[in-house]
Structure 1
Amino acid sequence: MKSAMRPAKPPRRIPPKKPSNQKDPVGVYCRVRPLSPSDQECCIEVINETTVQLHPPDGCKANRNGEYKETQYSFKQVFGTLVTQKELFDVVSKPLVEDVIRGRNGLLFTYGVTGSGKTYTMTGSPGEGGLLPRCLSMIFNSIGKYQAKRYVFKSDEKNGMDVQNEVDALLERQKREAQPQVIPRTPLTRQRVDPEFADMINIQDHCKIEEVDEDSVYSVFVSYIEIYNNYIYDLLEEVPLDPIKPKPPQSKILREDQNHNMYIAGCTEVEVKSTEEAFDVFWKGQKRRRIANTQLNRESSRSHSVFIIKLAQAPLDADGDNVLQEREQITVSQLSLVDLAGSERTNRTKAEGNRLREAGNINQSLMTLRTCIEVLRENQLCGTNKMVPYRDSKLTHLFKNYFDGEGKVRMIVCVNPKADDHEESLQVMRFAEMTQEVEVARPADKPICGLTPGRRYRNQAFKEELTRRLEERGGPQNGESDDQSVTDLLIQSFPPLPSCELLDANDDQTLPRLIEILEKRRRIRQMMGDEFNKNVCSFRAMLQDVNGAVTAKENFVQGKMTEKDRTIVSQKSEMERMEKKIKTLEYKIDILEKTTTIYEEEKRTLQQDLESQHHKLQRQLSDKRRLEARIQGMVNENAMKWEKECERRVAAKQLEMQNKLWVKDEKLKQLKAIVTESKSDKPERPPRERDREPKIPKRSISPAPVPNIPPVNMRHRRSRSAGTERWVDHKPPSSMETDTVMQPHIPNSIKVAVPSEKALAKCDRYMLTHQQLASDGELETKLIKGDVYKTRSGGQSVQFTDIETLRQESPPSASRKRRSSPCNDPPQGETTDSDWTDVETRCSVAVEMRAGSNLGPGYQHHAIPKRRKP
């Protein structure tokens, strides 16, 4: 009957499309976990739907690298603490499920520190299912009525799928059902989902995809693995239960298929037909997963878990009844849901032994993932061709095809806002923000079968027509199927054949009755043939009507499509016009932006020049003010200096004139005395009378001034030194007291043995005593004097202005010879008349005197008579 309707058409092959060169960045989303009641301080704030800000915790200081300053990080979307699981699924996972049903791969993994909510995001909780059960629910809601029967698709153990016909699939189903359970299985085999987790798969929104290929059949396979200590273990593997010597699970190895895609060799793939069955398989593997209690998390994942949902689809034949048996027409896509173990620090978890080893392997695999991301980012940004170290970890080696362009990659960064996790959250944010810069090649669309669409619908209509006719007969009997009932309806119309056994030669009833029944069966067969031809004609007429309706509809659709094509052509022309206009505007915008940039640079340059000129002017003004102040000080100082110099010169001139006048007066008096004494002729008195006469004291003759007396230093006048000025008398401990007449005496002075800043702050003048041996072996004392000035920085400085020299000398040798004869020497304090007889001797008497104006305060002038020549 089916061959009479329409001959089967061979499938039309469509050449594969070239891979797309377009790239999409890795989608990174951030989810903030609610703060627990015990944690009062929060260090993460959601700024807007794409930005979060990290605050340093209280008492934490920023280092020189700025790691503890307030920083902001941007993601594709940020989900706050009030976001539900459904909202997260609609944004992140729903596009990946749609791609899987359309034949494209997808990878979704959660990343974050331990206790940040990764497992909750992936699995969920009772009453609030996570991403995994929602993905399963969406897949089965979309392909529920288009699923193939069990064992139509069969894994080839090499990351591929084979397709079987209905007969082989039925035989395998019967074989599996009749196979005895000889080997005892683990208790994992006959369990059901715990009631407390049944609400996880009770998804009320019934999300599904409307645009599903109705001319294809689908089948879902799931597998569940974990990567523990860089080894891969199958969580769904059934192992014999040996209570005496239990066999440890065997690790799996990674292999590469003929398309250079990585897969896990020998991994169990379970075919499931509903969300409940798939989640039951997941929960069986979840109970085998390695978890442990740490100081940071009561149920901390000690391994990376990977739940793989593999969807196989193949088109129906031209009649819409059976699956095409060509392997090339099978499309296999998979969605990998990865729950990464949390990174942790051993100084916080206090891990030891196995926990320490597990933490080290977890951190090492996450570090390898970060290194691969960094190398991919560097290769794309800098144009380098460095080798990405995928093989350093089983985690990165398994998913390297996704980063090479075999599917979309999505990452959910889970963070805990408590202050204790601030350091770890900072590192997670940096890695997530860097991951966004990696671009993954967009996968090319896989070709579909080129048969006429609507095959399943026509086959369903034919079956409904046969069912209607069967119902008119009374429906199937004794639980038989619809197809069997239609066949029985045709067979039961014939009368049964009687027994043809001849026991008697005279039997004349068996053969006539057989002939009658056969004639009746012939007539019924002819009638059924006529009925069949009539039905065929009516069915052909119905098909012609349907074809006419379809043709009319196709014509109508063709007219609509022609109209739409015109609209599309007009819209394309409009779009081209708009694109040209956009290009023109973009060109103008570029010119304006360049002009703006030039003006801004010129403005910035002018502002910098203006600022530099302003600073230069300010410096010049300050230099000018300092120069004016300095010149004014120099003018004042020179004025005071010349005023003092004039006073000193006037005083020196006055003193010189007075000394000259005094010298003339003295010379006149001496000459007068000499003349008067020479003219007197007095008799010589005896010695006794001479002794009785009163001794006349020797006159104190003022010393004759030195002809070339240096000018008097007006700065050391007695009138000034005797005032309110205070002196610092600096006399080193090694100085000797000379006990001379000319010993300086400074009243009201501060005597110090070493330089003292406090003494200088209290005084105006300074004197340093220095002693040394002269060239002739005599002791020479120098008094170095100076003025004390205050400096701008608040200190004191000394400017030396004068040096006074005191020197002790022994008497001449001639006088020592004259004193050696005591009989000839007159008594001390007396002068003989012979000593003063000649004018030469008397006129040679002189007084040696130094200028007293340079000796400082407290000095007294002493007359020292010169000895007469022998």
Structure 2
Amino acid sequence: MMKQTRTKPPRRHAPKKPSNQQKDPVGVYCRVRPLSPSDQECCIEVINETTVQLHQPDGCKVNRNGEYKETQYSFKKVFGTLQTQKDLFDFVAKPLVEDLIRGKNGLLFTYGVTGSGKTYTMTGSPGQGGLLPRCLSMIFNSISRFQAKKYTFKTDDKNGIEIQNEVDALLERQRREAQTQVATRTPMRQRMVEPEFADMINIEDNCNVEEVDEDSVYSVFVSYIEIYNNYMYDLLEEAAIDPIRPKPPQSKILREDQHHNMYVAGCTEVEVKTTEEAFDVFWKGQKRRRIANTTLNRESSRSHSVFMIKLAQAPLDADGDNVLQEKEQVTVSQLSLVDLAGSERTNRTKAEGNRLREAGNINQSLMTLRTCIEILRENQMCGTNKMVPYRDSKLTHMFKNYFDGEGKVRMIVCVNPKADDHEESLQVMRFAEMTQEVEIARPVDKPICGLTPGRRYRNQAFKDELSRRLEDRGGPVNGVDEQAVIEMLIQSFPPIPSCELLDVNDDMTLPQIIEALEKRRRIRQMMAEEFNKSVVSFRGMLHELNGVVNAKDNLAQGRMSEKERAIMSQKSEIERLEKKVKTLEYKIDILEKTTTIYEEEKRTLQNDLESQSQKLHRQLSDKRRLESRINGMVAENAVKWEKECERRVAAKQIEMQNKLWVKDEKLKQLKAIVTESKGDRPERPSRERDREREPKVPTRSISPSPAPTVPPVHTRHRRSRSAGERWVDHKPSGSLETDTVMQPHVPNAIKVSVASEKALAKCDKYMLTHQQLASDGEMETKLIKGDVFRTRGGGQSVQFTDIETLRQESPPGNGRKRRSSETNRPPLAESTESEWTDVETRCSVAMEMRAGSNLGPGYQHHALPKRRKP
């Protein structure tokens, strides 16, 4: 069961980072292991350099539609089965080593299920060195010329580094070497590299870091930690050997230093000077690491291993000869290489006892790592402030300063493409893709110590020049031991004879002694003279060298003063630019606020515009719908009223005809009474006979009989005074023929349906035919005329001058109501003819109307058939 996260904040808070500090996401890389021969089915496919695809094996369930589910995951880079250890190192670990030498921290760990190749990726195999030996080789290739003497740097118990002087370092070195020789019974120079890892560190490519600070000295310290069952053990600790009662290794505890970095208290840190020595230390700890044989892996790691490389660097003094004895100038950087144990399912491994307990602790620590990553990602993306449960596991607690502090974090996801690991690989891919969204603060560059660069080479050049001049003047050659020179000079003196006096009368011994002493005095005097000469020459040489050095110093001081003036001018320029930057930032803030206000107003106006346009659209749709309904109702009512009017007119016509017939009958009777004689009255004709002789009155019915056709008269043309001019006859395509007596006829006109500038350019006059329904329901045709002018821009302009209206009117038919005089007219009386007439109306619309406007184009006159008299 997972521990519940605490809600109380920790006692000590890490220093707050500035809000404008740049951050980089966690770099996640994927490496696909080659498929073993026994595994035939593959469930992982590399799509491209950044994407892999997982598909379910044949034995898994399919989706509802009967297809297999395929998922793709993207990473910073994907390393396929054909890519080597060197390709992986160059792309992933090499930038971390460069940052380590420049004083920045880094964390690199491998993650995956059991048997996916994590340990192979980190350690490698004979002939194929992994990331760890390649990192060590690159470090020592870069700093080999600038390493400090052993024990110049010394670690303390609080994760710090101290600097010792040369005497203390020499004594410490002699004491440690004596202890090592006694313990191993073998001199340090005669120790051989073990053959089982000699091939791993035999790396052909000598890659190194460019632009290493040559005015600093470096020392490398390594330590090896194992996290087993949520306990921490030191794999380099030398336990007391007791064959009777061997003591088990003691677990270590985690502490936090003054810079809020986590470290293992009491951990063994070994100073190494070569790649072989560093890998020898690693291999000694690797032998003590806990591994076991499981169903899934023959050599399965049962613990998490952390190999830490700590690099201490300090600048040289002003002379460039010794290390600067200031602890504040020491820079310590650390690179942690972590080989995580693989997650596994007990139903597959069939683990029992200790193996089951180990698997549970491994899965629990990996689950805590996933929980910490999820909460950290949520805090960064959603702005929450949830507490990250680093303390729930030793693994996450140890690397708390990497996720909350600054540095680079890189993760290599190792996957096995076999079908049996599909479910575990799917979970690993999801966690790795989520980890890419977590951001870590970018490490800052270390401050410059302020000393003159090039101190080391200047000191070496001075020593070489001094040795050369002493050799030219016959002085001691560089490299000759002073004790040997002294012994050679003592041997050049003549020997002193025996001083024993055996006879009183011996006159030879004393003179011989005096002569030997005299020779020694003369040789000593000569040596003193030579020494004085050498001293004088050496003093002169020193004066010359001092003059050269002073001249160079003066030149260097002049250059330094120039550089200082240039630096001062650059500082002033920088200050000016900083002020300008602040002003521009202030203006940018104002513009951003103004932009925000304008954007809000724009969004508000856009919303209002959208609402108004929607409202207008609704109104238009309502209007169109209402118009269609009204038009339908009007059309329906018009048809009804037309039918009703026709019915009423027909009834009224029948009624009037009957009345007229009655009146005619009465008039005939009255006439017969008046004209005939009293004695001789003719017989009254029958009514039917009168009707036959009586002329028939035409009546209008719903289906009238067609009138007899009369051949039309020949058409007449009315010519206007402007008949010689060119016209543009603009008649739209939807125009109807007027069918009137007077029809417009424009000779030599350009007839168009759409007005064009090309047609206007060829003519002087313009006429537009416009048709519409008049108020009485009849068709009304308007001829709009105008003059064509050329504009200054080369175009054409039309000025309208006249409007002619042609309207047709229906003649009064039988259906119209007659006047009283027409009603009382006798039926056989002669009446005027009823015919269709044309009405022509003219009006002027131009502001500059010419006097006596012409009629324009001529007209064709058509004679329509007349109706018969009733």
- Indicate whether the TM-score tops 0.5: yes
Matched, 1:438 2:438: yes
Conservation of the 8 A alpha-carbon contact between 1:17 and 1:447? no
Equivalent runs, 1:700-739 vs 2, <5 Å? none
Q: Could you say which residue in structure 1 is the equivalent of 2:535?
A: 529
Aligned equivalents of 2:362 and 2:119: distance in 1? 16
Q: Residue 502 of structure 1 contacts residue 510 of structure 1 at CA under 8 Å; is this kept in 2?
A: no
- 2:322 corresponds to 1:322: yes
**Could you say what the CA RMSD is over the residues aligned between the two structures, in angstroms?**
4.7
1 CA distance for matches of 2:577 and 2:218?
A: 38
Q: Deviations over 1:164-213 (max 9, x none)?
A: 11222112222223337677899xx9985543532221222211012111
SS of residue in 1 equivalent to 2:337: strand
Match of 1:816 in 2: none
CA pair 490-321 structure 1, distance change in 2 beyond 3 A:
farther
1:537-556 aligned within 5 A: 537-543=543-549, 546=552
Query: SS at the partner of 2:135?
Result: helix
Equivalent residue, structure 2, for 1:409: 409
C-alpha displacement of 1:462: 2.2
Q: How many angstroms apart in 1 are the aligned matches of 2:493 and 2:460?
A: 34
Deviation per CA, 1:661-719: give whole Å up to 9, x if none. Answer: xxxxxxxxxxxxxxxxxxxxxxxxxxxxxxxxxxxxxxxxxxxxxxxxxxxxxxxxxxx
* Matching residue of 1:388: 388
User: 1:606: how far off?
Assistant: 11
Matches within 5 A, 1:212-291: 212-291=212-291
Q: Equivalent residues in 2 for 1:508-519 (5 A)? A: 516=522, 519=525
SS of equivalent residue, structure 1 residue 110:
strand
C-alpha distance in 1, partners of 2:42/2:214? 52
CA shift digits 1:636-665 (9 cap, x unpaired):
xxxxxxxxxxxxxxxxxxxxxxxxxxxxxx
Aligned positions of 1:289-304 closer than 5 A: 289-304=289-304
Closer, same or farther: CA 447–171 of 1 in aligned 2, 3 Å: same
Contact 2:39 2:418 in 1 (8 A): yes
Unpaired stretches in structure 2, ≥5 consecutive residues: 1-14, 501-508, 622-870
For 2:94, the equivalent position in structure 1 comes to 94
Quote how far apart the aligned CAs of 1:602 are: 11
Secondary structure at the residue paired with 1:200? coil
Give the Cα separation in 2 of the matches to 1:418 and 1:453.
57
* Closer/same/farther in 2, CA of residues 212 and 490 from structure 1, 3 Å limit: farther
Query: For structure 1, which segment, 374-383 or 175-184, has the greater mean C-alpha deviation from structure 2 after superposition?
Result: 175-184
Please state how far the C-alpha of 1:138 moved relative to its aligned partner: 0.6
2:155 equivalent to 1:140: no
What secondary structure sits across from 1:48 in the alignment? coil
In 2, the alpha carbon distance for the partners of 1:552 and 1:213 equals 25
Q: CA deviation at 1:246?
A: 2.3
8 Å contact kept, 2:380–2:438: yes
SS of match in other structure, 1:324? coil
SS of equivalent to 1:202:
coil
Q: Which residue of 2 aligns with 1:106?
A: 106
The amino acid across from 1:356 in the alignment is L
**Aligned partners of 1:126 and 1:520: how far apart in 2?**
68
The match for 1:51 is 51
Q: Specify the SS of the correspondent of 1:104.
A: coil
Cα–Cα, structure 1 residues 565 and 332, in superposed 2: closer, same or farther, change >3 Å? closer
Q: Deviations over 1:25-77 (max 9, x none)?
A: 1111111222222222222222222222221222423579x998322222222
* Contact 1:31–1:79 under 8 Å retained in 2: yes
For 2:418 and 2:601, how far apart are their aligned partners in 1?
Answer: 47
Alpha-carbon distance between aligned partners in 1 of 2:609 and 2:85, rounded to the nearest angstrom: 54
For residues 778-822 of structure 1, what are the alpha-carbon distances to aligned partners after superposition, in whole Å with 9 as ceiling and x for unaligned? xxxxxxxxxxxxxxxxxxxxxxxxxxxxxxxxxxxxxxxxxxxxx
Q: Is the 8 A contact 2:227 2:303 kept in 1?
A: yes
Change (3 A) 1:272 1:600: farther
Q: Which amino acid aligns with 2:165?
A: N
Q: Distance in 1 between matches of 2:126 and 2:600?
A: 56
Q: Which amino acid aligns with 2:536?
A: D
TM-score (ref. length: structure 1): 0.59
Report matched runs for 1:740-759 at 5 Å.
Answer: none
Structure-2 residue corresponding to 1:377? 377
Residue 240 to residue 190, structure 1, CA distance change in 2 (3 Å): farther
Q: Which residue of 2 aligns with 1:126?
A: 126
Paired with 1:67 and 1:386, the residues of 2 have a C-alpha distance of: 41
Secondary structure of 2:200 counterpart: helix
Provide closer, same or farther for how the CA distance between residues 568 and 49 of structure 1 changes in structure 2, counting only shifts above 3 A. Answer: farther
Query: Do 1:229 and 1:358's aligned partners in 2 also have CA atoms closer than 8 Å?
Result: yes
Q: Please report how far the alpha carbon of residue 548 of structure 1 lies from its aligned counterpart in structure 2 after TM superposition.
A: 7.5
Question: What is the Cα deviation at residue 259 of structure 1?
Answer: 2.2
Q: CA–CA distance in 1 between the matches of 2:319 and 2:80?
A: 52
* Corresponding residue pairs, total: 590
Corresponding residue for residue 209 of structure 2? 209
Amino acid aligned to 1:69 = K
Instruction: Tell me by how many angstroms 1:276 deviates.
Output: 1.3
Paired residue for 2:661?
A: none
1:83 aligned counterpart, secondary structure: coil
39-48 vs 509-518, which deviates more?
509-518
Q: Helix, strand or coil for the counterpart of 2:222?
A: strand
Letter in 2 for 1:390: Y
In structure 1, the partner of 2:729 is: none
Change (3 A) 1:184 1:597: farther
- Partners of 2:227 and 2:305 within 8 A in 1: yes
Alignment of 1:431-470 (within 5 A): 431-468=431-468
Change (3 A) 1:181 1:485: closer
Counterpart code for 2:235: L
CA distance in 1, matches of 2:30, 2:320: 46
Q: Distance in 2 between matches of 1:290 and 1:433?
A: 30
The aligned counterpart of 1:719 is none
Structure 2 distance, partners of 1:594, 1:131, is 57
- Shift in alpha-carbon separation, 1:191–1:518, aligned structure 2, 3 A: closer
Are the structure 2 counterparts of residues 327 and 380 from structure 1 closer, same or farther at C-alpha, using a change threshold of 3 Å?
Answer: same
- Cα distance change on mapping 1:496 and 1:590 into 2, 3 Å: farther
Between stretches 205-214 and 253-262, larger displacement belongs to 253-262
Tell me the amino acid that sits aligned with residue 303 of structure 2: S
Cα distance in 2, alignment partners of residues 589 and 475 from structure 1: 82
Kindly indicate whether the alpha-carbon contact (under 8 Å) linking 2:41 and 2:57 is maintained by their aligned counterparts in 1.
yes
2: CA distance between counterparts of 1:476 and 1:199? 46
The 1:476–1:544 alpha-carbon spacing in structure 2 relative to 1, beyond 3 Å, is closer
Note if contact 1:104-1:334 (Cα within 8 Å) is conserved in structure 2.
Answer: yes
| Deviation of 1:430 (Å) | 1.2
Tell me if structure 1 keeps the 8 A contact 2:496–2:517: no
Cα offset for 1:490? 9.1
Which residue type is aligned with residue 147 of structure 1?
A: Q
Indicate the SS of the match to 2:360. helix
Q: Distance in 1 between matches of 2:532 and 2:197?
A: 64
**Seq. identity, %:** 71
After TM superposition, the structure 1 = structure 2 runs for residues 800-815 of structure 1, keeping only pairs within 5 Å, are none
| Deviation of 1:336 (Å) | 0.3
After TM superposition, the structure 1 = structure 2 runs for residues 9-20 of structure 1, keeping only pairs within 5 Å, are none
Q: For residue 29 of structure 2, what is the aligned residue in structure 1?
A: 29
How far apart in 2 are the matches of 1:46 and 1:62?
22
Deviation at 1:79, TM superposition (A): 1.7
2-structure distance, mates of 1:45, 1:172:
57
Provide the rounded CA distance (Å) in 2 between the counterparts of 1:589 and 1:48.
Answer: 42
Give the Cα–Cα distance (whole angstroms) in 1 for the partners of residues 312 and 216 of structure 2: 10
Which amino acid counterpart does residue 543 of structure 2 have in structure 1?
C
The Cα shift of 1:304 comes to 0.4
Alpha-carbon offset, residue 520 of structure 1: 3.4
State whether residues 470 and 476 of structure 1, in contact with CA within 8 Å, keep that contact through their aligned partners in structure 2.
yes
Separation (CA, whole Å) in 1 of partners of 2:67 and 2:256: 42
Aligned to 1:677: none
Shift of 1:288: 1.4
Scaled by the length of structure 2, the TM-score of the pair is 0.59
